[in-house]
Amino acid sequence: MRGVSFLGVLVAGLIVGYIYKTQYAGTGTSPVEPVRQTIDVVGVKNDLIGIAHAERDYQALNSKYASMDELVSSGTLRMLKPGRDGYTYDVESTDQNFRVVAHCPKSTLPGCTDYSVDSTMELQAAQ
Single pTM value for the model: 0.69
Strand partners for 92? 99
- Please write the tens of the pLDDT for every residue from 10-38: 666 667 666 666 665 555 555 545 545 55
- Please write the tens of the pLDDT for every residue from 38-86: 557 888 999 999 999 999 999 999 999 999 999 999 999 998 777 888 8
Q: What is the SS3 assignment for 81-92?
A: CCEECCEEEEEE
Contact 55, 119 (CB under 8 A): yes
Q: What is the CA radius of gyration of the chain?
A: 22
CATH no., domain 33-125: 3.30.1300
Alpha carbon distance 33, 25 (integer Å):
13
Up-side HSE of residue 87: CA atoms within 13 Å toward CB? 25
Alpha carbon distance 42, 76 (integer Å):
22
Alpha carbon distance 88, 14 (integer Å):
42
